[in-house]
Chains A and B, each alone.
Chain A
Amino acid sequence: MGSQGGFGQSKEFLDLVKSIGEARSKAEEDRIVLHEIETLKRRITEPDIPKRKMKEYIIRLVYIEMLGHDASFGYIHAVKMTHDDSLLLKRTGYLAVTLFLNEDHDLIILIVNTIQKDLKSDNYLVVCAALNAVCKLINEETIPAVLPQVVDLLGHSKETVRKKAVMALHRFYQRSPSSVTHLVSNFRKRLCDNDPGVMGATLCPLFDLITIDVNSYKDLVISFVNILKQVAERRLPKSYDYHQMPAPFIQIKLLKILALLGSGDKQATENMYTVVGDIMRKCDTSSNIGNAVLYECICCVSSVHPNPKLLEAAADAISKFLKSDSHNLKYMGIDGLGRLIKISPEIAEQHQLAVIDCLEDPDDTLKRKTFELLYKMTKSSNVEVIVDRMIGYMISINDNHYKTEIASRCIELAEQFAPSNHWFIQTMNKVFEHAGDLVNIKVAHNLMRLIAEGFGEDDDTADSQLRSSAVESYLRIIGEPKLPSAFLQVICWVLGEYGTTDGKYSASYITGKLCDVAEAHSSDDIVKAYAVTALMKIYAFEIAAGRKVDVLSECQSLIEELSASHSTDLQQRAYELQAVISLDAHAVESIMPSDASCEDIEIDKNVSFLNNYVQQSLEKGAQPYIPENERSGIVNISNFRNEDQHETSTHALRFEAYDLPKPSVPSRIPPATLASSTELVPVPEPSYPREIHQAASVSSVSDTGPSELKLRLDGVQKKWGRPTYSSSAPSTSDSKSQRPVNVLTQPDGVGSINSKARDVSYDSRRPQVEVSPEKQKLAASLFGGTSKTEKRPSSTNHKVSKTSSHATDKSHVTEGVALSSEIAAKKTTPVQPPPDLLDLGEPAVTSSAPSVDPFKQLEGLLDPSQDTSVRNYSADGATKTPDIMSLYSDMYTSGLISNVPNPVSTDRDEFNLTSGLSDASDRITLGGNTDMHSTQISNKGSNPKESLDKDALVRQMGVTPSTQNPNLFRDLLS
């Protein structure tokens, strides 16, 4: 005690601390702190504050921030205090600054200078204070400012300075590994420091370095083993002892390092056996710290090349842990067991009872740990009971974070080890019912795909049984209130695709159910969209089967309601549904084939089917297509732009209302530029300076007419467009250029173009879906882990075989290869800016200018999209691909937009093109998923980091105990 209210502390400070200490509630504490803030704001700016007083103020600021209030008004005073000559004040100043500021704060720049000065101080305690600050405040940019001094200090005569300099270098390494790569050898040197404190600290950076690159440090194995031996033999100063253990924290760090170095390396491990064995024997198991070292030995033994003797010792230690009354030790025991069963699975058997006890324990932490163990032990023989328990636990907890995790584990296990289709569907239903909004939407898509593809058995009856049982269970569940959106999407999709397949349920029954869903979830546009598309499928199948379609009155009203929806997506779907119903059986069959969600669509990359069209256009006087890199006349365009800009900038401020968008351009512009303005403006230049031009683009609405509408949308999407085509296009007169299109589209069989357009657009969508890193991960977790799966891998094979039976299709693997070779080829061609979804509208726009082949352009668009998206995929998992629903809606929007700027072209042409696009997108859900095979195949097994991540994720889990299940251990452990 004694030191309470020691010298130098004012009564004011003592009172403040006391009142905070006596505060009975958070509200009272807040009142005190707010009052304190007011006082300090006044006081701290007073002139001539004595230094001691100032230090007290700074500590009071620390209190304010610690209790959750903002003390930024005083930061500058803390910064000033770091300049002080007095060591205590300086260190207090540094402390406050490190507590207040993060490394990117503006004030840091004011401190760097002080730090530099202090690092040169003669007083080693000042140097230490500065090094402490370096570890907290120096960011990547400021590292060079202090790096030379820190390196010098590595050789300082005081061991505590050397220790802190090592840690400062460690911090630089953490912040920016590249800035200190040439200095890494210093860590090796410091490992041999005379002072055990410096050596102990050096283990921290070395551990990080070895984690990243084991092989470069194999030569240190002997050194580490020797150090560990010396530590264990009590060669270190007594002051490092803790509860009669010699330097246990250093031992633990060394054991961690040895575990890394010995992993999968027999030779390196052989050096370790003796010392690790000695430590395990000598460990004092009556103290916590002894057990901590023992646990670390278990981790080490289970990581390095296995040694029977050590494994036996580890198993003994684990059984001691598990038999202990202490929950902490049981926890460590379960964890150790989880590590050891990877090497010797049989040891789990002797601990059955202990494991079950832990599973039944009311302590959540212990339960979760046990679930983690079970997760690692899951086999097809025990999956049912384990997943059943997991779901029970999942339902019982409220914590969304864990719920999500355990749900995803259930799904993972179910997908890996499902003993039967029926069980799988039931399990997924339960998971979705209770955690549907928490699980990744990709899981839902995956489930759809699984139902569509079947489980991979070759006989189709099993697959159709699976579908029937899914349909049946969904029809049972569908009426329940409060189903999660993701689950409803699955239900709608499955009912749409397979609801009437087996003939058990009539179309009107299924459609009625679907309408109920849409009505019951009127606020969920995504579910409604799924429901409407499902309705369309049901009707389409009915029509294709030659049956008469009776649209229920409730469906009719739903469709009518949705065709006036605010959501353009829903509108589009509603109109499409109406359009499909009115078609004849033959047409419906070709646009909506039954059970075709797994089919691949053949793509004619050369758009050869349009050769006739091109030929005819050319004959009618259209300009031939000029490849982009051969085009000239960009200068003309920019000239034109300048004119345009100049003209509009003269009247930047307009007070009259803007004109309504008109199809034709006002006559204010001379006819020569007239044509070009309609054609060029919709496609902004890549170098277009948006900031400068903003006023101009707004004011030029009337000049360029409807195309401006598009421009502004582009701005919203932050899109710079792609390079426009040659100015030779504008030279053809507007009226002349339109005619051929009209002529052509009318007599031509719309159907064929339509379906081809669908293929092409399908292709353009696909890569975007394909690259989603999350999906890849999901796919990897679904199909990865070949070592322990019995069923999964066959599904992949099955898919390949299924596609290869499709005469025209390439197998997925080769497709993937083809794709990547294409990328390589693409890289040599001029880089086009990544097209966003709006670009899909453009081909429709350009179709009014036949001088440039619209479909060639479309093709040009497709390739870069593949290019960029695939590059995204390979880059990393950070890029987030839009989910499928947003693709839908964006797509439709773009379809609609394409109507706007091009009112001149024939309506019919437009409509068909858009609906072609949407047809394709109806299939995207599946198309995207099936394509994951190709990426997944190339990905599988080559991603240790991913599996590490997964493992880390896996380490957090728990369980709920219900009643004792007598069959449990047999299932779990046999």
Chain B
Amino acid sequence: MGIRFVLMVNKQGQTRLAQYYEYLTLEERRALEGEIVRKCLARTEQQCSFVEHRNYKIVYRRYASLFFLVGVDNDENELAILEFIHLLVETMDRHFGNVCELDIMFHLEKAHFMLEEMVMNGCIVETSKSNILAPIQLMDKAS
């Protein structure tokens, strides 16, 4: 399975994007997001970018006001997930140009589309930025 969920949360703890690769009910999502956000936001820059939470490992990375949190299985390569987050940010950067929290908020569906291209069934399937963005650009042109 690998990746269980991808979350984007700002530093106030408000969810900006949530994608789960296993089904959780609304209540479970709420509780999980609350717990892990509290845990990750309390950590300092020097500490590990990995946090164990229940049976997940959470790999997180902060960009300005936005935290990217990825929940993974225990046997996942944490450093690779850390770089996967960066790849996602670079990809969004290429599309939006200097991406910020508001870009994601105003174009929530596009952020999701990019994630859909990169991750399927909890696995990283595409890492070429041009491949990720091609369908989104085509859709933009068509509409």
| A-to-B contact residues, CB < 8 Å | 1-6, 8-9, 14, 17, 20-21, 23-24, 26, 29, 59, 62-63, 65-70, 86-88, 91-92, 95, 99, 102-103, 125, 128, 132, 135, 160, 163-164, 167, 170-171, 174, 197, 200-201, 204, 237, 239-240, 242-243, 247-250, 252-253, 288-289, 291-293, 295-296, 299, 327-328, 330-332, 363, 365-366, 368, 401-402, 952, 955-956
Q: Which residue of B lies closest to A94 (CB)?
A: B116
Decide if B74 touches A952 in the complex (CB within 8 Å). yes
Q: Which residue of A lies closest to B101 (CB)?
A: A21
From residue A83, how far is it (CB to closest CB) to chain B in Å? 17
Contact of B83 among A26, A135, A292, A368 (CB under 8 A): A292
5 A-B pairs whose Cβ atoms sit less than 8 Å apart in the complex: A2-B97, A88-B143, A95-B112, A242-B87, A363-B48
B89 in the interface (beta carbon within 8 A): no
Decide if B80 touches A249 in the complex (CB within 8 Å). yes
Q: With contacts A1-B97, A103-B23, A160-B131 known, is A401 near B79, CB below 8 A?
A: no
What B residues does A363 contact at CB under 8 A? 46-48
Interface flags for B88-104 (1: CB within 8 Å of A; 0: not) read 00000000111011110
Decide if B139 touches A197 in the complex (CB within 8 Å). no
Q: Which of B49, B108, B127 has the most CB of A within 10 A?
A: B127
Bound-state Cα–Cα, A14 to B112, Å:
19
Decide if A328 touches B139 in the complex (CB within 8 Å). no
What A residues does B134 contact at CB under 8 A? 160
Q: Which residue of A lies closest to B86 (CB)?
A: A288
What A residues does B55 contact at CB under 8 A? 956
What B residues does A132 contact at CB under 8 A? 116, 120
User: Sorted from nearest, which 6 A-B pairs have the closest CB atoms?
Assistant: A292-B79, A204-B123, A102-B23, A239-B128, A292-B80, A167-B120
From residue A293, how far is it (CB to closest CB) to chain B in Å? 8
From residue A705, how far is it (CB to closest CB) to chain B in Å? 49
B41 in the interface (beta carbon within 8 A): no
B20-59 interface (Cβ within 8 A of A) = 23, 26, 29-30, 33, 46-52, 54-55
Interface flags for B67-88 (1: CB within 8 Å of A; 0: not) read 0000000110111101110110
Q: With contacts A3-B107, A328-B79 known, is A240 near B120, CB below 8 A?
A: no
What A residues does B18 contact at CB under 8 A? 66
Bound-state Cα–Cα, A366 to B48, Å:
7
Contact of A328 among B78, B108, B112 (CB under 8 A): B78
Decide if A247 touches B127 in the complex (CB within 8 Å). yes
Decide if B135 touches A248 in the complex (CB within 8 Å). no
What B residues does A6 contact at CB under 8 A? 106-107
From residue B97, how far is it (CB to closest CB) to chain A in Å? 6
Bound-state Cα–Cα, A293 to B79, Å:
9
Decide if A59 touches B108 in the complex (CB within 8 Å). yes
From residue A336, how far is it (CB to closest CB) to chain B in Å? 11
Decide if B121 touches A125 in the complex (CB within 8 Å). no
Q: With contacts A68-B26, A167-B120, A249-B84 known, is A200 near B79, CB below 8 A?
A: no
Bound-state Cα–Cα, A940 to B115, Å:
45
What A residues does B86 contact at CB under 8 A? 288
Extra A-B contacts (19), CB below 8 Å, given A163-B125, A240-B128, A331-B78: A4-B102, A4-B103, A17-B102, A17-B105, A62-B109, A103-B23, A128-B135, A170-B120, A200-B126, A249-B80, A250-B127, A253-B124, A291-B79, A331-B48, A332-B79, A365-B48, A365-B50, A402-B52, A952-B74
B138 in the interface (beta carbon within 8 A): yes
Decide if A289 touches B83 in the complex (CB within 8 Å). yes
Bound-state Cα–Cα, A402 to B48, Å:
18
Q: Which residue of B lies closest to A105 (CB)?
A: B23
Q: Which of B26, B48, B130 has the most CB of A within 10 A?
A: B48
From residue A958, how far is it (CB to closest CB) to chain B in Å? 8
Q: Which residue of A lies closest to B23 (CB)?
A: A102
From residue A456, how far is it (CB to closest CB) to chain B in Å? 35
From residue A637, how far is it (CB to closest CB) to chain B in Å? 48
Q: Which of A132, A327, A402, A952 has the most CB of B within 10 A?
A: A327
Decide if B48 touches A204 in the complex (CB within 8 Å). no
Contact of B80 among A66, A289, A365 (CB under 8 A): A289
Decide if B120 touches A135 in the complex (CB within 8 Å). yes
What B residues does A26 contact at CB under 8 A? 13-14
From residue B96, how far is it (CB to closest CB) to chain A in Å? 6
Bound-state Cα–Cα, A174 to B54, Å:
23
Bound-state Cα–Cα, A197 to B14, Å:
34
What A residues does B113 contact at CB under 8 A? 91, 95
Contact of B46 among A63, A247, A296, A327 (CB under 8 A): A327
Decide if B106 touches A14 in the complex (CB within 8 Å). yes
What B residues does A328 contact at CB under 8 A? 48-50, 78-79, 82
What B residues does A402 contact at CB under 8 A? 52
Decide if A170 touches B116 in the complex (CB within 8 Å). no
What B residues does A167 contact at CB under 8 A? 120-121, 123, 125
Contact of B15 among A1, A67, A103, A242 (CB under 8 A): A67
Q: With contacts A171-B121, A292-B77 known, is A125 near B127, CB below 8 A?
A: no
What A residues does B29 contact at CB under 8 A? 68
Bound-state Cα–Cα, A908 to B114, Å:
79
Decide if A164 touches B50 in the complex (CB within 8 Å). no
What A residues does B130 contact at CB under 8 A? 239
B64 in the interface (beta carbon within 8 A): no
Decide if B135 touches A365 in the complex (CB within 8 Å). no
What A residues does B126 contact at CB under 8 A? 163, 197, 200-201
Decide if A125 touches B108 in the complex (CB within 8 Å). no
Bound-state Cα–Cα, A56 to B132, Å:
24
B62 in the interface (beta carbon within 8 A): no
Decide if B105 touches A21 in the complex (CB within 8 Å). yes
From residue B55, how far is it (CB to closest CB) to chain A in Å? 8
Decide if B77 touches A331 in the complex (CB within 8 Å). no
What B residues does A14 contact at CB under 8 A? 106
Decide if B109 touches A59 in the complex (CB within 8 Å). yes
Q: Which residue of A lies closest to B21 (CB)?
A: A136
Decide if A135 touches B121 in the complex (CB within 8 Å). yes
Decide if A164 touches B80 in the complex (CB within 8 Å). no
Decide if A327 touches B128 in the complex (CB within 8 Å). no
Bound-state Cα–Cα, A135 to B121, Å:
7
What B residues does A299 contact at CB under 8 A? 77
Q: With contacts A23-B14, A160-B131 known, is A92 near B109, CB below 8 A?
A: yes
Bound-state Cα–Cα, A123 to B83, Å:
33
Bound-state Cα–Cα, A201 to B79, Å:
20
Bound-state Cα–Cα, A331 to B103, Å:
34
What B residues does A67 contact at CB under 8 A? 14-15
Q: With contacts A88-B139, A174-B121, A288-B82 known, is A955 near B106, CB below 8 A?
A: no
Q: Which of A3, A65, A368 has the most CB of B within 10 A?
A: A3
Q: With contacts A125-B135, A200-B125 known, is A288 near B83, CB below 8 A?
A: yes
B129 in the interface (beta carbon within 8 A): yes
From residue B2, how far is it (CB to closest CB) to chain A in Å? 8
Contact of A201 among B125, B139, B143 (CB under 8 A): B125
Bound-state Cα–Cα, A916 to B127, Å:
71
From residue A488, how far is it (CB to closest CB) to chain B in Å? 29
